[in-house]
Amino acid sequence: MWQLAESAHPVLTDDGGAILDERTGRWTHLTPTASAALMLLLAGTTEEQAAGQYAQRYGIPVGQASADIRTVADALTAQGLATAEPAPRRRWWRWWR
């Protein structure tokens, strides 16, 4: 499942958005279409479902929508703002180790 890193804090609107990386203090600015792609990914849908909704929203072929969704996901993952791996479970009973 694709998700943002714990240190990434998004501010998303239909007019664009930004993600604050609290590790570095830097903002990554998003275009309106990248912000829409990210909102669909964060909605908990699969990339295929997100691509279908994205294609419908912008009236483009599903293949192009899938490429757009993948581009946003890959760019954020490459910057360390997201991961395709599930977050590790924290074991509270071993906090002292």
* Helix intervals (H) in the chain: 32-42, 47-58, 62-78
Do 62 and 52 meet the contact criterion of CB atoms below 8 Å apart?
A: yes
Q: What is the pLDDT along the chain (97 residues), one digit of tens a residue?
A: 788 999 999 999 888 999 999 999 999 999 999 999 999 999 977 889 999 999 999 999 999 999 999 999 999 999 999 987 655 555 555 555 5
Burial 4-22 (b: 16+ CB within 10 A, else e): bbeebebebeeeebebbbe
C-alpha to C-alpha distance for 92 and 76, rounded to whole angstroms = 30
3-state secondary structure of 30: strand
